[in-house]
Amino acid sequence: MKTDVEELSPTRVKLTIEVPFEELEHAFDVTYKSLAKQVRIKGFRPGKAPARLIDRYVGRGAVISEAVNHAVPELYNEAIQKEEIFALGQPDVEVTKLEDNEELAFTAEVDIRPKFEVKDYKGIEVTVDNATVTEEQVDEQIGTLRERFSTLVGADRPVEDGDHLSIDLSASIDGEKLEDVAVSGYSYEVGTNTMLEGLDETLRGMEAGGEATFKTTLVGGEHGGKEADVTVTVQSVKVKELPELDDEFAQLASEFDTIDELREDVRKRMADVRRMQQLSAARDKALEKLIESVDIPLPDAVVDEEIDRRRQSLEQQLAQSGLTKEAYLESQEKTEEEFEEELKTGANSAVKAGFILDQLALQEDLSADQGELSQYVFEQAQRMGVSPDQLAQHLVESNQIRVAFTEVVRGKAMDVVLAGAKVTDEDGNVIEQEVVEASDEDAVEEAAKAAAAAAAAEVSEDEAKDDKDEDAAKADDSK
* Residue-by-residue DSSP string for 413-466: HHHHHHHTSEEEETT--B---PPPPP-TTHHHHHHHHHHHHHHHHHHHHHHHHH
Burial of 19 (0-12, 13-18, 19+ CB in 10 A): buried
Express each pLDDT in 117-170 by its tens digit: 999 899 999 999 998 899 999 999 999 999 999 999 999 999 999 999 999 999
Q: How far is CA 329 from CA 142, 323, 338, in A?
A: 36, 10, 9
The pLDDT of residue 47: 60
Mean local confidence (pLDDT), 288-308: 93
pLDDT tens by residue, 364-387: 999 999 889 889 999 999 888 888
Residue 246 DSSP code: S
Query: Of 82, 56, 51, 239, which is closest to residue 160 (Cα–Cα)?
Result: 239
pTM over 0.75: no
Q: Which of 41-45, 135-139, 156-160, 438-442 has the lowest mean pLDDT?
A: 438-442
Going by C-alpha positions, the residue among 106, 103, 84, 78 that lies closest to residue 93 is: 106
Per-residue model confidence (pLDDT) at position 436: 40
- Whether residue 246 is predicted with pLDDT greater than 60 in this model: the reply is yes
Do residues 261 and 83 touch, judged by C-beta distance below 8 A?
no
Q: Are 112 and 84 in contact (CB under 8 A)?
A: no
User: How far is residue 440's CA from residue 270's CA, in Å, rounded to a whole number?
Assistant: 18
Distances (CA, A) of 473 to 460, 464, 467: 20, 14, 10
Q: How far apart are CA 453 and CA 434, in angstroms?
A: 28
The whole-angstrom separation of Cα 292 and Cα 279 is 20
Distances (CA, A) of 313 to 108, 308, 319, 349, 415: 31, 8, 10, 17, 27
| Residue 324, pLDDT above cutoff 50 | yes
CA distance 224 to 36: 68
Integer-rounded Cα Rg, in Å, for the chain is 33
How high is the pLDDT of residue 45?
A: 64
Banded model confidence at residue 284, pLDDT cuts 50, 70, 90:
very high
Query: What pLDDT is stored for residue 434 in this prediction?
Result: 59
Burial of 176 (0-12, 13-18, 19+ CB in 10 A): exposed
Neighbours of 399 (CB within 10 A): 10
Residue 450 region by backbone torsions, left for phi larger than 0, else alpha for psi between -120 and 50, else beta: alpha
In single-letter form, the type of residue at position 74 comes to E
What is the pLDDT confidence band of residue 400, given thresholds at 50, 70 and 90?
confident
Taking a C-beta distance cutoff of 8 angstroms, is the pair 376, 408 a contact? yes
pLDDT tens sequence across 195-229:
899 999 999 999 999 999 999 998 877 888 889 99
Q: Which residues of 48-80 are buried (b: 16+ CB within 10 A; e: fewer)?
A: ebeeeebbeeeeeeebbebbbebbbebbbebbb
- At residue 221, the pLDDT reads 75
What's the confidence (pLDDT) of residue 29? 86
pLDDT value at residue 87:
92
C-alpha–C-alpha distance, residues 41 and 91, integer Å: 38
Q: What was the pLDDT predicted at 182?
A: 87
- CA nearest neighbour of 33 among 47, 44, 19: 47
> Percent of the chain scored above 90 by pLDDT?
61
Alpha helices in 299-421, H assignment, sequence order: 300-321, 325-332, 336-363, 370-384, 388-397, 401-419
d(CA 122, CA 288): 14
In 10 A of CB 98, how many CB atoms? 15
Poorest-confidence range of 85-94, 124-133, 246-255, 458-467? 458-467
- Predicted confidence at residue 25, as pLDDT, reads 87
**Mean pLDDT of the region 220-242:** 90
% of the chain with per-residue pLDDT over 70? 89
**360 neighbors 298 (Cβ within 8 angstroms):** no
> Tens digit of pLDDT for each residue in 345-363?
999 999 999 999 999 999 9
Task: Return the SS3 of 248.
Answer: helix
The per-residue b/e assignment along 338-364, b for 16 or more CB within 10 angstroms, e otherwise, is ebeeebeeebebbbbbbbbbbbbbeeb
Q: What is the dihedral of CA 471, 472, 473, 474, to 10 degrees?
A: 50
Higher pLDDT, 323 or 296: 296
CB 16 within 8 A of CB 6: yes
Per-residue pLDDT tens for 450-475?
A: 334 444 444 444 444 444 444 433 33
